[in-house]
Structure 1
Amino acid sequence: MDRRLHALTVAGAALLMAAGTAMAAPSPPPPPEPKLSDSQVDTALARLDAAVADGMAETGVPGAAVAVVHRDKVVYLKGFGLRKAGQSDPVDPDTVFQIASLSKPVSSTVVAATLDDPAGWDRPTARTNLPGFALKDPWVTAHVTTADLFSHRSGLPDHAGDLLEDLGYDQAYILGHLREEPLAPFRASYAYTNFGLTAAAEAVARARGVSWQKLSEDTLFKPAGMTRTATTFEAFEKASNKAVTHMRAENGTWSARSVRNPDAQAPAGGVSSTARDLARWLRLQLGTGTLDGKQIVKPGPLARTHLPEIVSQPPRSPDGRAGFYGLGWNVSYDDAGRLRLSHTGAFALGANTNVTMLPLEQLGIVVLTNGSPVGLADAIALDFFDTAEHGKPTTDWLALAGSLYAQEEAAARSATDYSKPPADPRPARADGAYTGTYENPYYGRLTVTAAPGGQGGLTLALGPAPMRFPLTHYSGDTFSFETTGENAVGRTGVTFSPDGTARAGTVRVEYLDANGLGTFRRG
């Protein structure tokens, strides 16, 4: 669901500052100073147990784990609820969760650990080290850097490649077909793209002759003592103490779901970890690359990840404040001028996570949950910082975050309700007018077959396996099917167009056509 829900990923904990105003000043303001006292942080910590328990009770999310770091100490580390609904195994600080897009700031830390100076981010590594990689514009291909791809300013459209992953294509196919995607202005536009970031990370690893998992282990996980953190789905599956992903049914009940295998986009969304391990990573982040007296990441390359690279959220009013994206981080500044770093992770198939830090205050929180996004992880983090700042929460953060997720989900659905055909639908043609094979340079082959024995009914097949979808007639040459996978949008339309004969010459799949790539031509 990352494709639909990145409004929170973009905004992250900056929701706290939505009501802030930009103050014009004739000269630069003085450097900010820490504002939070130990007692203020203690007040927020004292509320955490109830905030987590109440949020879980309200949403029904089965399990959560939370860690807080303050001044290089882990001051809070707890698990809540169950690893799997209906069973008795509890979540604890060492329970492994899929962390979804929280993988991005972890991965930017890995890349930073390979660099000697901040300028290393500005090398065009994808072009030189990733065979088959190209973007639609050759000039952009030649100049796009690791920083461009990690900050989502390459010009690739929103979530480019994600639907290929849903259809079962592997990483090599997806990265090799990004060249088909239309490009927005290079370095002048922001669009959140898992596979753009993945391309950059994989190129960094291949330049060193190792896999992304090996690079992550050698440069970050092992040196930082993150013993239960990995980038492969196999490692998550093998973990004996892991949180199973869950989805909520329309009646409000939660059930364990078939797992989400994010290997194709491992650097962008494939990390699995624990609250204890991520507390160590938070200490490293807040310690400018140092952990337990050891410099693991050089300060310069790490500090570069915390800087704004592109405007990700323009001001909503003339006196509003913009949001930025750095290198794997949402970057914002509050009314006191303090840097705030955050990121949300969301799998529609059953995970929601959040990390938020105030580096000046040496304070950070990470929240892991094993339920599809309903706002719980974000709300816990927002509530914590709000309480530290004001002594109590000033907003119902769970209601706000939950409503934003619901709005994003509703906006992704088709404007046509295909479950309700017209009262007087036009008849379809004979099955033979639609059956056959259609080709698309991006999505590959699409096949339409009729049920054997003249029983009626058409089936559409997509992807390398392929995946099969029974078609339901809507009206005339338009049918529909129920989408599946991480980026499912409910029912989507399938419209055939005649080729001047009795047969259809093309077929357009509505939910695949957001970027104009969803039309298949008869082979």
Structure 2
Amino acid sequence: MRTLRTLGAAGAAVLLTASAATAAPSPPPAPRPQLTDAAVGRAVAALDGSIAEKMRRTGVPGVAVAVVHNGEVVYLKGFGLRRTGESAKVDPDSVFQLASVSKPVSSTVIAGALADPGAWDKPLAGSLAGFALKDPWVTSHVTPADLFSHRSGLPDHAGDLLEDLGYDRAYILDHLREEPLTPFRASYAYTNFGLTAAAEAVARGQGVSWQKLSEDTLFKPAGMTRTSTEFDAYAKAPDRAWGHVRNPDGTWSPRYVRDADAQTPAGGASSTARDMSRWLRLHLDTGSLDGKRIVPADALARTYQPEIVSQAVTGRGTPQFYGLGWNVSYDDAGRLRLSHSGGFALGVNSNVTMLPLERLGIVVLTNGAPVGLADSVALDFFDTAQYGKPTTDWLPLVAASYAQTFSVGRSETDYAHPPAGAKPARDSAAYTGTYDNPYYGKATVTAAGDGALTLSLGPKPMRFPLTHYDGDTFSFETTGENAVGRTGVFFTDGKLRVEYLDENHLGTFTRQ
């Protein structure tokens, strides 16, 4: 899942908070020390207009929103279309992919399954077969808390490119041992598959699958009847909201379907606004719902604790933290603020934000690739509740943050235009053959009758036509959730190096 690398967690929330700090008036309006029913009511009343205006400005096809306050669902609506070109409307029971909002849902599951807050700190110690990190000492000491708070030392988004190439969860978790590590518990880097490893270990410790653990611990007890951790459930839902991407002319199309089963606990859940309102109610009532205790209060509260600094200083001079599946911050009145965003470049954006002290929360689900709508609706809502009106126009600020994120990893070389005096390629036989890599597996280069080269990667495999650039340098167009446009392929001394796979120096293949 492409989850906002420069924004840090999750999507969007860490840099979002920083952007919020930078963009808010200086000094900002004084926040209300306690949110009255009237203040929340005004924010709720403004939602219809806020959502409609942002849908008009962005063109995002469909949105569903739920707001919970003092144990009640005070807003629950759908807007727009489930799929462009069709007439079916989004409603509170339309099924959306959650992307990284799956993370706080998963930490809720584990809080309920483990019950004891201290269980987060017990080392996995071989409980997940095939999982290890590069340093044996770290492997023997890493805990679910380390992996859920992204402080294991794994590099940013470790394993995501393996998923893009078609490798399954077992292969990816088994190969995280090849990734270089930064200092354990002293560095923050957002990793979908680190979190997935922790969730899988907990589920196996309970003797069940992750879906079974989620159903038994959270979904069934909370009455979340349309929520699943399996892609198949989303794909077969008759009222699903299809993911959309924006076309160059500004229209939106459902061109891709994102199957995130490999990293389900981190990004593969699906749900509805109605189900998510029940999850919000559970959180805002300290783990109870409709008078029934579902998650122990102290176990749930543990997920809210800051575990690692995710951003040392924001525009307001305050740090941002990551907890257990949550972005953790404190507002101008010193209130705990929990949030998480989720985004698939292939067509999804979501946000959840809560002020537990005020028993107030919002969830925004959309079926469009991240352009800022989900986050800016939530930011506007809380601004209006706290300050009486939005403190700034959030939409372009959030959109710029997403645009910056999706530009990360793009090559500085314009492979579409070879340099003047480019050297010709050698005969195709100089490049063809099978190459091996301990992390990415086998790569094969083949030549057609006209000498055109194709690079094959991954288990299926995926085939990428190579375009000559200069001498022994070629390029191809990347695909998938983490696509970065054209990337370079360099042949030298019996080796092949793929530029976009080499961020952590793992992208060199050796000819067999």
Given the two structures, how large is their TM-score scaled by the length of structure 2?
Answer: 0.96
Counterpart residue number, 2:472: 477
Counterpart residue number, 2:162: 164
Answer yes or no: is 1:514 the counterpart of 2:503: yes
Q: Distance in 2 between matches of 1:230 and 1:466?
A: 29
Q: 1:289 aligns with which of 284, 287, 290?
A: 287
- Aligned pair in 2 of structure 1 residues 405, 20: CA closer, same or farther (>3 Å)? closer
SS at match of 2:199: helix
Counterpart residue number, 1:60: 59
Q: How does 1:250-269 map to 2 (within 5 A)?
A: 250-269=248-267
Q: Distance in 1 between matches of 2:23 and 2:323?
A: 22
Shift of 1:33: 9.2
Shift of 1:423: 2.3
Q: 1:405 aligns with which of 402, 411, 432?
A: 402
Q: Deviations over 1:451-510 (max 9, x none)?
A: 1x3x1210000000000000001111111000000000000000110x3xxxxx001100
Counterpart residue number, 2:3: 2
Paired AA for residue 161 in structure 1: G
Moved more, 9-18 or 136-145: 9-18
Q: Distance in 2 between matches of 1:115 and 1:459?
A: 49
Q: 1:241 aligns with which of 223, 236, 239?
A: 239
SS at match of 1:40: helix
SS at match of 1:381: helix
Paired AA for residue 416 in structure 1: T
Q: Distance in 1 between matches of 2:420 and 2:39?
A: 62
SS at match of 2:184: coil
Counterpart residue number, 1:98: 97
Q: Distance in 2 between matches of 1:316 and 1:82?
A: 37
Answer yes or no: is 1:418 the counterpart of 2:419: no
Shift of 1:6: 3.9
Q: Distance in 1 between matches of 2:141 and 2:217?
A: 26
Q: Distance in 2 between matches of 1:286 and 1:347?
A: 27
Counterpart residue number, 1:44: 43
Q: Distance in 2 between matches of 1:422 and 1:267?
A: 45
Q: Distance in 1 between matches of 2:36 and 2:312?
A: 32
- Aligned pair in 2 of structure 1 residues 122, 174: CA closer, same or farther (>3 Å)? same
Tell me if the contact between 1:20 and 1:320 (Cα under 8 Å) persists in the aligned partners: no
Counterpart residue number, 2:138: 140
SS at match of 2:54: helix
Counterpart residue number, 1:112: 111
Counterpart residue number, 1:441: 438
SS at match of 1:395: coil
Counterpart residue number, 1:492: 487
Tell me if the contact between 1:107 and 1:267 (Cα under 8 Å) persists in the aligned partners: yes
Tell me if the contact between 2:373 and 2:395 (Cα under 8 Å) persists in the aligned partners: yes
Shift of 1:238: 1.4
Shift of 1:389: 1.5
Tell me if the contact between 1:448 and 1:461 (Cα under 8 Å) persists in the aligned partners: yes
Q: Distance in 2 between matches of 1:172 and 1:409?
A: 27
Q: 1:322 aligns with which of 309, 315, 319?
A: 319
Tell me if the contact between 1:13 and 1:378 (Cα under 8 Å) persists in the aligned partners: no
Q: How does 1:22-37 map to 2 (within 5 A)?
A: 35-37=34-36
Q: Distance in 1 between matches of 2:78 and 2:314?
A: 38
Q: Deviations over 1:238-279 (max 9, x none)?
A: 111100011111221110122100000000000000000000
Q: Deviations over 1:117-160 (max 9, x none)?
A: 210110113x3321011000000000000000000000000000
- Aligned pair in 2 of structure 1 residues 265, 301: CA closer, same or farther (>3 Å)? same
SS at match of 1:155: coil
Paired AA for residue 57 in structure 1: R
Tell me if the contact between 1:151 and 1:326 (Cα under 8 Å) persists in the aligned partners: yes
Paired AA for residue 400 in structure 1: L
Shift of 1:410: 2.1
Q: Distance in 2 between matches of 1:201 and 1:154?
A: 14
Q: Distance in 1 between matches of 2:294 and 2:32?
A: 27
- Aligned pair in 2 of structure 1 residues 115, 12: CA closer, same or farther (>3 Å)? farther
Tell me if the contact between 1:97 and 1:369 (Cα under 8 Å) persists in the aligned partners: yes
Consecutive unaligned residues in structure 1, runs of 5 or more:
24-31, 500-504
Tell me if the contact between 1:228 and 1:273 (Cα under 8 Å) persists in the aligned partners: yes
Shift of 1:116: 2.9
Paired AA for residue 501 in structure 2: L
Q: How does 1:175-254 map to 2 (within 5 A)?
A: 175-254=173-252
Counterpart residue number, 1:463: 458
Moved more, 410-419 or 325-334: 410-419
Q: Deviations over 1:357-415 (max 9, x none)?
A: 01111100000000111011001000111111121112111111001111122233111
Tell me if the contact between 1:13 and 1:381 (Cα under 8 Å) persists in the aligned partners: no
Answer yes or no: is 1:128 the counterpart of 2:151: no
Paired AA for residue 62 in structure 1: P
- Aligned pair in 2 of structure 1 residues 321, 276: CA closer, same or farther (>3 Å)? same
Shift of 1:4: 3.7
Answer yes or no: is 1:393 the counterpart of 2:390: yes
Identity of aligned residues (%): 70
Moved more, 197-206 or 39-48: 39-48
Tell me if the contact between 2:203 and 2:210 (Cα under 8 Å) persists in the aligned partners: yes
Consecutive unaligned residues in structure 2, runs of 5 or more:
none
Q: Distance in 2 between matches of 1:363 and 1:517?
A: 45
SS at match of 1:473: strand
Tell me if the contact between 1:168 and 1:463 (Cα under 8 Å) persists in the aligned partners: yes
Q: Distance in 2 between matches of 1:168 and 1:397?
A: 36
Structure 1 segments of 4+ aligned residues over 3 angstroms from their partners:
3-7, 11-21
SS at match of 1:484: coil
Tell me if the contact between 2:66 and 2:75 (Cα under 8 Å) persists in the aligned partners: yes
SS at match of 1:50: helix
Tell me if the contact between 1:81 and 1:91 (Cα under 8 Å) persists in the aligned partners: yes
- Aligned pair in 2 of structure 1 residues 296, 13: CA closer, same or farther (>3 Å)? farther
Q: Distance in 1 between matches of 2:251 and 2:480?
A: 20
Answer yes or no: is 1:76 the counterpart of 2:52: no
Q: Distance in 1 between matches of 2:48 and 2:23?
A: 28
Q: How does 1:359-370 map to 2 (within 5 A)?
A: 359-370=356-367
Shift of 1:236: 0.6
Counterpart residue number, 2:372: 375
Q: Distance in 2 between matches of 1:122 and 1:115?
A: 11
Tell me if the contact between 2:79 and 2:90 (Cα under 8 Å) persists in the aligned partners: yes
Paired AA for residue 56 in structure 2: A
Alignment RMSD: 1.7
